[in-house]
Structure 1
């Protein structure tokens, strides 16, 4: 359900064009061949995609080639087959009378079929066809992917095709250069580790005492009443550091967990003295955060092997968070993540004091949570593969391919899994907000309930079959969602839709109750419902005749969310949703605008506002001023699925810009337009862009409840890729959500503000490069964070280089080979001539992409 932007806020009333994408598909296992041409072709066909020309014919479109290579021993026949793939429906054959044609099926699924002009491809031969598609292909996220072949004689079976992606030969889209990275990094100063603040995120008060303490396996732990959970957490951590603890706990040092009034809901005090560490808090949550600060005080490599002792600097810390809502949103609907990965991410969140997991559990492409009594939700809605009718499972999407056993397209959490996740989160003081997408982005649920309907209808149970149906079977409405679906919106006029939502809500609440986990809200989505829905639904028109408040189709939006709000209030919850939940469509002299809906503004409705682009740059502030509780989820700074850099090799989407580590760090929550530096294309924002935009009032500031960084999973095909996109950017969010308002953010003098920012930025990246990322190599079995590419340029005949994260090592070669951990360490300028290759390495020897500089 990633947000896509072109032009004005689409909300639930307009159709957008969107770039979807995945990284290059993993190499498929080679299928055993037999002697027939068809069997050879299905296993030995290889495809290569390459961009040939941007701005083709002077338009915002791209010309590319798709090469078919027959690596088998028999010919690829001229017909009798179809190739399916995922991509933008704008992909068409360049030559309308050529050898292929491409048609859009639904969503991002397309099919390529041979025409009468396609000739058989002999063994070893290749044939290239040219394609044209909308937009620029800055990286392979806009490339077609997930190719598989289906033979006409075997229409229910798909065969994955190995596909290669070749980087374009020309930089026609303004990719970032090594010299650009170098200049960006020039403001970073190297700071000695003993000068760094060792509690992260930055605390409110931090004082070094000049002393230290030595912890050993014999260090004892005592805890006041009410802190048993936190004591167990600390004991488990110290066991990871030291191994088995001394049961007697009669060492020379102690750690005391103490109750102290007046420190607030999440505040704590931490005193590290020569013989004892005292962590004080009013609440268990505050005490827990004091323990996390103690963890970051420890040497970064403390978990690399079992220690006999650990020395910690003496400090006095007094701390509390800036915002009460510090959230990470995990999308497991587009592509699935296993339970163990969810638990791992919860540990990461806890370490850096994030306290809300927004769990995106369903979307058009997947339903991921077992609901008792509705088995089709996971059996049909939770699986993807090659299908002719979507009745057994959903169609392929986002490179999940033809195999229904693919673990990214298919998967779900059992009731037991979810309860375990809830308990794990609760023990770490993390609230889990489940998101049940409605009424749009609901295709998985709709198709699942269709399958249930047809199953029960065959059994003669018509009334039961219709109980949870989510669409009017006679609806002839025509629409296309932002992700290209034409059948993904619930019919909000049908009583069965509300019966379904009540059933799901009550089953979810029962799981929370069994887990003993807190729940205050359920997120019901509410975004990106396209124009055209409901217009030709008989059920809708029957409701409009009966209910005088529904004068036009748009009024169904308010009807739906008023009913949802009443449902959650009856269960002592408040309603959460995306920004569209709180918006109302207004026409003034023919001009369409969107304003805050005054009705729900009075209902404690919480909205995640992502849109801060163009005319909606001030939308979050307008909604907060109107009375909505706002979670800042700004796309330009906080969307973790956006690519780090404008580089072809850099994975990630880019419809909302590029989000490197600095974007969340320099985000100013209560005045974010002040520090928006570049637009979606990475061009500097022009002066006066935000003139006349609404600023936060005092009331509005009180309604900003926190920050959230989402990681949409269209391109996330593995836990490793999730961690790459997540880290280190998530640490920028953690800093901004917890740490006090920085001085550079409120300094009115631009020159002074910039100087203060550069100092703070240097401190931050030094902490990450020298402490926190080294720690994460070993924390919870290690995280595969992104290692930044080296910046470099030629200066006075020599190559000079730098890195975004001090503490990481640049190594280089001049013989054409790729640098390894044995290559020369860059310690100054490089005088050798020719091709210089540079690569950044962390303490474990993992490396970045290679930077190439020609020193002529």
Structure 2
């Protein structure tokens, strides 16, 4: 009792005014003697002590770090001066196994939300740049004592809602020694799921304080019982998968189901006028699924017919597939049509039995642009992952790969003549001068040889382009500018210093991207104050021109023409407002720039026209594109709409489509695959637009009528929203938004994966698959149940009635068929391709002692095990896993999980 009173008094003594949280060193009963004069004595001895590389390495190996999310509740976490803000409190526990009195160390770590205040006076936390933070002892530091936990509480901006938020690879630095990664902060891999595990993060248990975003947050935690209700409308139906093709074709007619066509002996291909190289990849996929080419196989003939086109727009990819007892015929006008016909043939196959029904499929794509974006800049991903992604894109008829290769955190493509971009910009390490590398970010750690570092050589990139060409996939390169350009800036700064040191002033300034006399203070969305190109320097445009020309040369060498180049143009912080170069430019230019505020638009317009003059279509993200004067832009321009629909994102989509631009939907709450699948703190991903993006939500997307999605979706906090698609005007009567014009629409849709939280190829695949299959479904096929667009304008909400009961019923019926196709047939093909897709978490409930379970993809196996009443759910258990087949009598605590189609990988388990 006495110890409790003393501890409480200590907590109160360093309390934070206006906040219900306090932090103090935590001590175990066995370590009480380390307090007071003993600790002070050890601190006084620090000056007489010294680290060695060996002792530092040992300390980092033994130091236990625990990250604990305490509360997101503003009344508990914000100070009295922040009454209307959102804050959170978290704690970092440091427990040493030995006495360390030294105070000449610092621990560096990545923290996604900036630290506002430190709640333990023995430590300071300062932000270095971006998300890199530094923990250092203050003058009040009393040293580490064996077995004593030093608890560093801190207040941060906004909220933390996921156990995956705390980045790995904390490292300790002492002057004169090599930095050392703290072993307890490294990721481990779960042997059964293959997923990353963060042993240093304490599990969430408090729904109100840890899981809820705000007091109005009504999003249910996706526990087993919640998932059971979500899956309850599904009916197990293996028959639904037999003739189902993903993505759904325009029409498919089964001509006989009594005499199936046996493909077990393979196929004999008659190419006729079709180039064998154009269909080789699609035939290889058939072979991997068990249908190989054979002289004694069933005849498969290609027939070229120029009349087989998609529609009056002539969208490429139409085909006809005929399956008969005596042979298979694919008729098309183009290489992609023949490949897509083979993809549909592969879709009909069940890997367990190589026979299909006779049928006729007539098909053509919904959109010309059916894309997938992957960010390899934040964290690098291998060439093999890109190959595997392209394979699966081709298998499901996606045709545009948006390859994001440069951002603040790295530059990933070798550029002839600018070696600094990859020598320095492709890697992160602990060099605070950034002379040899960029500083660590995103938990990359202190060493340049980390797996998250790397780049594609020119030869690598050519390989990627040729691999994509063989599969009818266009590669769209992106090096984000003028914001998100820190890697380029720091690389060119290093180049400048190198040439200045050798007296080559002209060379030093040739590609310089910043004005050294710019005193602008700004912060980007990712908390950088030095990540934006100076758009008033001619050397900036010389750099951009050089980069695009060199990339175009690589495309030419690969025989893969550069048709589109993505500028980026998003989230520009405006780093030039106090730049003397820009002040002079605005005062003396003849470019029509009248204000500093016009410079961002000037850059986009100038670069877009530079790109267009090279015969390349410019592309950019919708926020940057919205700042331009459409009259100054090339008529042929692409915009990617990344605006949130529930935040009126449909308005910008309509405005930009009405300009006649190629408008590609990239809306985050349905098309960002770096967001969590389910609303569970253990799920990977960021969550600023949604906390739950599973395959069913993606399937439900109505892309041709964005506001109509308000009838079926809620916002990020699971609250209904209204989408008003009527004409809007400002106070001067100027139209600010309006419905789509007749004859205008969207060019397509694109899925996105951003890699801030995705460090490995395995996690990248987990986040992309199986959602990519539903992306393909929406890009290729327009469902009959989608609400027609109202060109006169309309207001949509959950009771507006445009999405009728009959449409909802059709949607559910089709989803039931597709979910069964995934579970019974399609996921097995991803297993054959070694794609580490996400195995879904299982829905379950217990009623009257009976366990009931279901799953999002019927056909996958479910397992459960019974734990004793006293068992800790997080402890390793020895109970046997049992296959769930029907409601079963259970007792005690129940753990439940799903198994991949191959039976080799397990899904994340849940407890009841």
TM-score by length of 2: 0.83
Partner of 1:219: 267
SS of aligned partner of 1:166: coil
Gaps of 5+ in 2: 1-50, 79-85, 186-199, 213-220, 310-315, 729-736, 789-800
SS of aligned partner of 2:607: helix
Given candidates 839, 851, 854, the residue that maps to 1:802 is: 854
Deviation at 1:601, TM superposition (A): 6.0
**Does structure 2 retain, via aligned residues, the 8 Å contact 1:601–1:627?**
no
SS of aligned partner of 1:457: helix
Change (3 A) 1:792 1:252: closer
Partner of 1:133: 156
Change (3 A) 1:244 1:664: closer
**Does structure 1 retain, via aligned residues, the 8 Å contact 2:604–2:625?**
no
Within-5 A mapping of 1:1-80: 37-58=55-76, 59=78, 60-71=86-97, 74-80=98-104
Matched, 1:165 2:201: yes
SS of aligned partner of 1:806: coil
**Does structure 1 retain, via aligned residues, the 8 Å contact 2:116–2:157?**
no
- Per-residue CA deviation, residues 192-240 of structure 1 (Å, 9 max, x unaligned), is 3356433211000101121422235563111122432234335434543
Q: Which has the higher relative contact order, 1 or 2, with Cα contacts under 8 A spaced 6 or more apart?
A: 1
- Comparing 145-154 with 463-472, greater Cα deviation is found at 145-154
SS of aligned partner of 1:104: strand
Change (3 A) 1:196 1:836: same
Partner of 1:263: 308
Matched, 1:775 2:808: no
Matched, 1:651 2:684: yes
**Does structure 2 retain, via aligned residues, the 8 Å contact 1:193–1:770?**
no
Partner of 1:450: 493
Alpha carbon RMSD of aligned pairs, Å? Answer: 2.3
**Does structure 2 retain, via aligned residues, the 8 Å contact 1:82–1:152?**
no
Given candidates 336, 350, 359, the residue that maps to 1:285 is: 336
Given candidates 172, 181, 184, the residue that maps to 2:227 is: 181
Q: Distance in 1 between matches of 2:154 and 2:676?
A: 25
Q: Distance in 2 between matches of 1:35 and 1:543?
A: 53
Change (3 A) 1:518 1:36: closer
Given candidates 423, 427, 437, the residue that maps to 1:383 is: 427
Given candidates 659, 669, 672, the residue that maps to 2:703 is: 669
Partner of 1:209: 255
Q: Distance in 1 between matches of 2:571 and 2:508?
A: 29
Return the index of the structure with the highest Cα Rg: 2
- Comparing 203-212 with 711-720, greater Cα deviation is found at 203-212
Given candidates 670, 674, 683, the residue that maps to 2:718 is: 683
- Comparing 535-544 with 520-529, greater Cα deviation is found at 535-544
Change (3 A) 1:558 1:92: closer
TM-score by length of 1: 0.88
Within-5 A mapping of 1:249-260: 249=295, 251=296, 253-260=298-305
- Per-residue CA deviation, residues 390-425 of structure 1 (Å, 9 max, x unaligned), is 1110010111111111021x1000000000000000
Change (3 A) 1:500 1:77: same
Partner of 1:85: 109
**Does structure 2 retain, via aligned residues, the 8 Å contact 1:37–1:77?**
no
Q: Distance in 1 between matches of 2:619 and 2:650?
A: 21
**Does structure 1 retain, via aligned residues, the 8 Å contact 2:164–2:683?**
no
Change (3 A) 1:821 1:637: farther
Q: Distance in 1 between matches of 2:53 and 2:558?
A: 57
- Per-residue CA deviation, residues 371-398 of structure 1 (Å, 9 max, x unaligned), is 0110000010111111121111001011
Deviation at 1:88, TM superposition (A): 3.3
- Comparing 210-219 with 75-84, greater Cα deviation is found at 210-219
**Does structure 1 retain, via aligned residues, the 8 Å contact 2:241–2:820?**
no
Given candidates 622, 640, 663, the residue that maps to 2:655 is: 622
**Does structure 1 retain, via aligned residues, the 8 Å contact 2:707–2:723?**
no
Given candidates 631, 634, 638, the residue that maps to 1:606 is: 638
Deviation at 1:547, TM superposition (A): 1.1
Q: Distance in 2 between matches of 1:454 and 1:626?
A: 44
Change (3 A) 1:567 1:829: same
Deviation at 1:56, TM superposition (A): 4.8
- Per-residue CA deviation, residues 610-633 of structure 1 (Å, 9 max, x unaligned), is 012424342211211232221000
SS of aligned partner of 1:49: strand
SS of aligned partner of 1:561: helix
Gaps of 5+ in 1: 1-32, 303-309, 585-595
- Per-residue CA deviation, residues 502-552 of structure 1 (Å, 9 max, x unaligned), is 111111110010000032111000000114x20111111221122152221
Partner of 1:146: 169
Change (3 A) 1:38 1:200: closer
**Does structure 2 retain, via aligned residues, the 8 Å contact 1:34–1:40?**
no
Given candidates 838, 845, 858, the residue that maps to 1:793 is: 845
- Per-residue CA deviation, residues 424-469 of structure 1 (Å, 9 max, x unaligned), is 0001000000002110100000100111111111121110111011
Change (3 A) 1:422 1:252: closer
Matched, 1:832 2:890: yes
- Per-residue CA deviation, residues 101-154 of structure 1 (Å, 9 max, x unaligned), is 111111111111011222222334322221222233221343354311101343
Given candidates 392, 400, 413, the residue that maps to 1:369 is: 413
Change (3 A) 1:38 1:406: closer
Deviation at 1:89, TM superposition (A): 4.8
Change (3 A) 1:301 1:490: farther
Within-5 A mapping of 1:514-553: 514-531=557-574, 533-548=575-590, 549-553=592-596
Deviation at 1:664, TM superposition (A): 1.5
Q: Distance in 1 between matches of 2:371 and 2:787?
A: 22
Q: Distance in 2 between matches of 1:119 and 1:36?
A: 23
Deviation at 1:796, TM superposition (A): 4.0
SS of aligned partner of 1:569: helix
**Does structure 2 retain, via aligned residues, the 8 Å contact 1:45–1:162?**
yes
Partner of 2:33: none
SS of aligned partner of 2:490: helix
Q: Distance in 2 between matches of 1:606 and 1:162?
A: 46
Given candidates 119, 127, 140, the residue that maps to 2:142 is: 119
Matched, 1:472 2:540: no
SS of aligned partner of 1:236: helix
Q: Distance in 2 between matches of 1:695 and 1:571?
A: 34
